[in-house]
Amino acid sequence: MNERTLGTSGLSTPPLVLGGNVFGWTADRAASFAVLDAFVAGGGRMIDTAESYSAWVPGHRGGESEAVIGEWLKARGRRDGVLIATKVGWEIGNARGLSRARIAEAIEGSLRRLGTDYIDLYFAHKDDPDTPLEETLDAFDRLVRAGKVRALGASNFDAPRLAHALDLSSQRQWTGYTVVQPLYNLMERAAFEGPLADICRVRNLGVLPYFGLASGFLTGKYRSDADLQGRTRAGAVKPYLNARGFRVLDALERVAREAGATMAQVALAWVAAQPGVTAPIASATSAAQVEELLGAMRLELTPAQLETLDLASRGA
């Protein structure tokens, strides 16, 4: 796969990032290792995780995904061959936010679990309005200067706060955010399209959208409430079971038949084709799913197919 420059971060990655939110959760250690092996063997390079994965699971404390990735890196000796992105700022036990103390504590935990002395791309997982931006940005800059982090990113930020953060970093000569990670897919467009996308374009920021498959809805396997029974993503998928969601699935099916591809591949290819997007993030729980995801990056949709999907996903 051809590599793409990730904004002004100095990093480059093939046009698919492997999501690590499932590691240590719906993918156990053996399945996670198989997924990671298949991803790298297929030309993948960047792996995305967070300290909070998977704190939402009963009995988990967070850090499970990072720990599995760290074990895989040690077992395979692959640290120099991959890029690791992780995040700080989401709730994990009683810890949360982007204060100087929280960031300093979190980076040490992530480095320890991952078994590395640096993070390639470190994200603010979400905005923290209770901490002054100056404090957060100074703390991140110190990590870069100390060599613990190579580049910085912002996830789940709105356009005004991102612009403010970028301006502050420039004024204070701090290392600024160079990558944005928004929610973006055929069912969720509002958070990225418009002002946030404009800022990314003007400021030359890399864009790595997450949930490119809308929690699995865009694979076509969820068509009714009955399909959600016993599924871990039922709560996230249920809101899509409506007229607009079924219209999008119908369009995906038509385009998939034309292209000789799966619905998941078409959904990810649509994200990858959108202006400003560097690479979508997608998760897998088996080597077979990895092969399908990598196939999406070799799929080039026609203008007519892109228009079909665009029209289906707009409106109520």
- Give CATH superfamily name and number for 4-214+270-300: NADP-dependent oxidoreductase domain (3.20.20.100)
Q: Cα–Cα distances in Å, from 229 out to 215, 219, 261?
A: 15, 17, 27
Please state the domain extents for the chain: 4-214+270-300
Q: Are 23 and 49 in contact (CB under 8 A)?
A: yes
Determine the residue type at 289: Q
Catalytic residue IDs:
53
Coil, strand, or helix at residue 306?
helix
Helices marked H in 115-191: 133-145, 159-172
Pairing verdict, β 12-13 and 17-19: unpaired
- CA separation, residue 218 to residues 166, 211, 223 (Å): 34, 10, 10
Q: What is the pLDDT of residue 212?
A: 95
User: For the chain (length 316 residues), average pLDDT per consecutive 10?
Assistant: 78 89 96 98 96 93 97 94 96 93 98 97 97 98 98 98 98 98 98 98 97 94 85 86 96 98 97 96 96 94 98 88
At 133-191, the pLDDT tens digits run 999 999 999 999 999 999 999 999 999 999 999 999 999 999 999 999 999 999 999 99
Measured CA to CA in angstroms, residue 211 lies from 30, 175, 189, 219, 236 at distances of: 23, 27, 11, 12, 11
Q: What's residue 226's pLDDT?
A: 85
Q: What is the pLDDT of residue 99?
A: 98
